[in-house]
Structure 1
Amino acid sequence: MSGEAEHLRAYVEYFRDLGVHDFYRRGEPVVEASAVEQVSAPVAEALPVTAHPVPEKVAVPSSAEHVVAVPVRPAPTPISSSRSEFLEPPNLKLVSFNNLAPLPEKRMVAADRPAALRAIQEEIGDCTRCPLAYAGRHKIVFADGDPSARLMFVGEGPGADEDAQGLPFVGKAGQLLNNMIGAMGLKREQVYIANIVKCRPPGNRTPEPVEATTCSQFLLKQIDVVQPEFIVALGSTAATYLLGVKQSLAGLRGRWHSCRGAKLAVTYHPAFLLRDPRQKAEAWKDLQMVMKEMGLKVPSKG
């Protein structure tokens, strides 16, 4: 099955689970010349008003007592294999993590953070809140690392290795991230690592807005529990949803942003660096900026 077909099937199963069974997109009304449906008055009143033009008057048989005639709903156009307006809500707007909820009034003590993170993981449970639950995921990938870390990395979503192990960044991109962390003079166990979405998108595609925004509530809670001083957004997807802006990496890199009380820097995703190793030097510049702000020793050239 193609990636597009898997994507569509996941959405269909998701909405069926919610009790929605009519999967159509808006099209031009198609009404047959003799299409008149007779229903009892109470039922007619309960029907939703159609947005399409309808005749002002329709004939009612004289023998039909307490019966009204209403136009048949326009014949729907079946959904195609491409994405539709139904699957991508037009009113879905980007909102930065700073504006999703008020900041915590008090900083959580370090001893309480592991239990608080476990409570968030239990709240997620065997999540079926978005279509990714129906797209072939094996494990929900919560996070990894120190609950009291000064530095947090946020990526896009799990890949095949992460989906199998239930941990973020454990595949080839994860190995590169480990090297990047090591180059900063830190260990993986000293940072906190999470993703925008906790389930693997089919074919490692970019998460859809409805998927990312549905999952954001849990990442936001994780950030508020860990309360890192610094966050590194790995790639454009992480930057887009954390900051609530859709902008090129070139316009976001090299300067500081704010996210939930932390200073946020943007750099390339390790998976992108594997595809284009020429950008590793640019990513290292971003990490050096973070190191200087954290008070970490930046290796001298030579």
Structure 2
Amino acid sequence: MNFSETAQKSEDIEALADSLQKWWKDAGVDVDYLDAPSALWEAPLPANPENGSQSERLSPAPAPQSPETVAEVPANENLPDSLEAFLQWLRDTPTVGDQRGNSGTVLPYGPTNPDLMIVVAMPDQGGSDPAKIFNPSTEQLVKNMLRAIEISTESVFFAPLSLSRPVEGRIDHGLYPVLKRRMLKLCELVNPKKVILFGDSVTRALCNEELLQARKKKLFINQGSSQTEAIATFHPGILVERPEIKAEAWQDLQRLLGTD
């Protein structure tokens, strides 16, 4: 047996262990953290009785306001009455619903009076075309889904609820009312025959229901004085990651076609 080789291996293992422990400590993994999020750049509160105990000062932040109590929602804002003017307004007027600068802005696009209107919460991450909602893999799946129900991509109007993708990848629930009002106006101007809602966020915002419940029934989108049939189903991005649920999405599409 080569004892010098064994000793060398032992030293290498100890060195590796020391290196990992140093990384662990430098990364701060051995430090306790709060479960609740807090502001990283906020100055610490002074330790005095008026600020309460340490545990009180480190308690979770108050829950965000419900949509009904958000004061910033411009409920009485006048929206343009033509699609061309509406799209121009979206292009030129920053609104609370869009976190401009976090990602590229994607305006709604497609023909008027389309066979189908597809609504998503926000543009995909990693899209190769700044004017398109979906990234390449998701876009291909959408094309396949449309082909399965005999609808061409050119006859579909695509619309994101938020024109850009927030850094955190989700829309603040407090913005739902203004985004809903804007989207309903857009539906009225586009006048689609049917609507598909892709994903939980857009379903909650427009229908006030979670996706798993909304999938079980046919929905209706109000367009001024008329209503348009709609369904809610999984976002194509989820289907790319979890192909085993594509059969459920197909059932949803058949509900839209009235063949379920």
- Equivalent pairs, count: 205
What does residue 207 of structure 1 align with? 171
CA contact (8 A) 1:152 1:193 kept: yes
What does residue 188 of structure 2 align with? 224
In 2, Cα distance between equivalents of 1:213 and 1:84: 23
131 and 221 in structure 1: CA distance in 2 versus 1, 3 angstrom threshold: closer
What does residue 143 of structure 1 align with? 108
What does residue 262 of structure 1 align with? 228
| Length-normalised TM-score, structure 1 | 0.57
What does residue 237 of structure 1 align with? 201
Gaps of 5+ in 2: 1-38, 70-74
What does residue 99 of structure 2 align with? 133
State the 1:264 CA deviation.
1.4
CA contact (8 A) 1:151 1:191 kept: yes
What does residue 53 of structure 1 align with? none
29 and 209 in structure 1: CA distance in 2 versus 1, 3 angstrom threshold: farther
In structure 2, give the amino acid aligned to 1:234. Answer: F
CA contact (8 A) 1:120 1:218 kept: no
Match of 1:279, SS state, is helix
State the 1:199 CA deviation.
0.9
State the 1:215 CA deviation.
3.1
Aligned counterpart for 1:119 among listed residues 78, 85, 90: 85
In structure 2, give the amino acid aligned to 1:92. Answer: P
Q: Deviations over 1:220-248 (max 9, x none)?
A: 22101112231111111111111123x3x
RMSD: 3.8
State the 1:166 CA deviation.
2.2
State the 1:141 CA deviation.
1.1
In 2, Cα distance between equivalents of 1:209 and 1:93: 10
CA contact (8 A) 1:117 1:225 kept: yes
Gaps of 5+ in 1: 1-7, 13-22, 32-73, 95-99, 102-114
In structure 1, give the amino acid aligned to 2:165. Answer: R
| Length-normalised TM-score, structure 2 | 0.65
Is residue 2:248 matched to residue 1:282?
Answer: yes
CA contact (8 A) 1:141 1:163 kept: no
In 2, Cα distance between equivalents of 1:250 and 1:137: 29
What does residue 213 of structure 2 align with? 251
What does residue 130 of structure 2 align with? 165
Q: Structure 1 vs Structure 2: percent identity of aligned residues?
A: 21
Is residue 2:67 matched to residue 1:92?
Answer: yes
In 2, Cα distance between equivalents of 1:136 and 1:266: 27
Match of 2:102, SS state, is coil
In 2, Cα distance between equivalents of 1:128 and 1:230: 29
Q: Deviations over 1:8-65 (max 9, x none)?
A: 79xx9xxxxxxxxxx89xxx9965xxxxxxxxxxxxxxxxxxxxxxxxxxxxxxxxxx
In 2, Cα distance between equivalents of 1:168 and 1:144: 9
CA contact (8 A) 2:195 2:230 kept: yes
In 1, Cα distance between equivalents of 2:128 and 2:186: 20
